[in-house]
Structure formats: C-alpha cells, structure tokens
Amino acid sequence: MRKAILPFVLLLCSFSLFSQTAGTLTVTYSTQKIASQTLSVYAVYVTNSSAALVNTLAYKTSNGNSSASSELASWWTLIGKSLTGAKFIGTVDGISGATTSTWAIGQKVYWGRTASVATVPDGTYTVNFIIGEATSGGGSIVGNVIYKGTFVKGTAVSNATVTATSGFSNITLAWAPVNTAINDVEMDKYYSVYPNPAVSSIFVSGSDVKQVEICSLAGQSLIVSNQQQVNISSLPKGNYLAIIRANNGTIVKKIQKQ
C-alpha cells in the first residue's frame, strides 16, 4: 500500500510545482502626511490567504529598529524584527530612492521583476499598505493606518485599485502573467540541467534561453544569470530550484548542490 501511495504523492508535488505561473506584480502608490508631523513610516508587503508574509516590497522607518515595533506593529511582527537600518529600502524587486525626509510620489515596486514568483502557488494574495507618522525625533506616533488590496496570481491579468483616505493615495495593483507558447509538459522535454547533482557549475541545455535563476526551495532568489552555464560554487550543499526562462516560456527544475 505504501509503495502505491508514494508515486502518487510525488506526482502531485510535480504537478503543483510546474503549474505555478510566472509573472510580475506592479504596485504603484504615493504617500502623504496624515498629520502635522515631519516623517512618514510605512511598509508595503504581500501576504497569502493565511496572512503569512510572502514578500516585503518596500519599507521606510524613521529612527531604526528600536522604534519600528511601535510604528508598524503588524508588519514588524511578520518580518521577525530584522531591519538593518533607518531608511527607505526597496527589495530586489523594488525601486528605492526615497529618504526619510521625502514623500513617495508615483512610487513603483515590483514582485517578480527580478526575483522569481514561479515557485509561489497561484491564488489570491493581499497587498498591505501600513503607514504611521512620527516627529523628527522619532517621538509620538500619529495614526497607524492599514489598507489592503487583493489580486489573483494566475494565468490571467489581474488589476485592482485600493481606496485610501489618509496617508496613501493613487494605489494600483497590476498582475501580468508570462505568456507561454508551449505548455509545461512540452517544455520539460526541451530543457534539461546537468550535471545534477553538481559541485561547482550547471549547464542548461535548450534553445533561446534568456535567463537562469537559482532559488531556494522557499522561493528566495539566490543567483540570476543570463548565461546557460551558471556557477553555483558559492551555494551551500543542498537542494535548489533552477528557473529557466526562454522565448517559449518558463520551466522549473530541481537541482542538487554537492
């Protein structure tokens, strides 16, 4: 009985892996004062249907790690209290450029432009916008306003606007999937990764390969290469995902580093 169940479980896992859609979420917003204070503190982040953190798109704090728990309490809890500085930081998917003394006008941040979303299950996700106000000395907090908008990660375009009455304005969400010319089963035949397991480098076979991205099993982007030969010597031993982007579409291969 156990022998019969195991292949079935593996088949389900494989189907789940290859059915996840690649694409880009573009989030646009502006920030504004919500009181007569001098500094805004905010975060923009994505959560799943279980309210677990999927990705932080951008954040800005006024005076560092010690105050963020009171400024942005709900987000601070989700990230595990691991800020590195008192400044605006865009992730690898974001565009930074703001400082603690300026307001974001028409700011755009992204999920999927450079870091892969192909390993994240399709479904409905929430983009959260949380903002507070602080004095220039990091003193009193005025307000702690949270807005939410949802989009559907999948094979169809998903757009939404979020109405904000204070702190944020002009919020839009736009999910754009990657169009594929052939299905995942066919692509799996055309592209392969070798050697696997590998010690120092892998090579991706197949035509029209545009990019190879190495991710952790949790979906964290580790290496991005525009070459079909990728040096993975810097990675610890373990299992990873190689995401192959070609003109025909996107395919995911599991690899092992020895």
What are the tens digits of pLDDT across the range 93-118? Answer: 333 333 444 567 778 888 887 666 87
What are the tens digits of pLDDT across the range 42-96? Answer: 888 999 999 998 888 887 765 454 555 566 778 877 877 666 543 444 433 333 3
Question: Which residues is 2 bridged to in the sheet?
Answer: none
217/14 Cα distance (integer angstroms): 13
Residue 16: per-residue pLDDT: 37
Residue 248: per-residue pLDDT: 67
What are the tens digits of pLDDT across the range 241-255? Answer: 888 887 766 778 889
pLDDT exceeds cutoff 50 at 213? yes
Q: Which residue has the tokens 């094979």?
A: 155
Residue 255: per-residue pLDDT: 92
Residue ranges per domain, the chain?
18-177, 180-257
CATH 2.60.40.10 fits 180-257, yes or no: yes
| Whole-prediction pTM | 0.59
Q: Within a 10 A sphere around the Cβ of 177, how many other Cβ atoms?
A: 19
Q: pLDDT-derived band of residue 166, with 50, 70 and 90 as boundaries?
A: confident
What are the tens digits of pLDDT across the range 173-202? Answer: 988 887 544 455 566 777 889 999 999 999
pLDDT exceeds cutoff 70 at 19? no
- Alpha-carbon distances, residue 9 vs 4, 12, 15, 219 (angstroms): 9, 5, 10, 21
247/32 Cα distance (integer angstroms): 42
The overall average pLDDT reported for the chain is 73
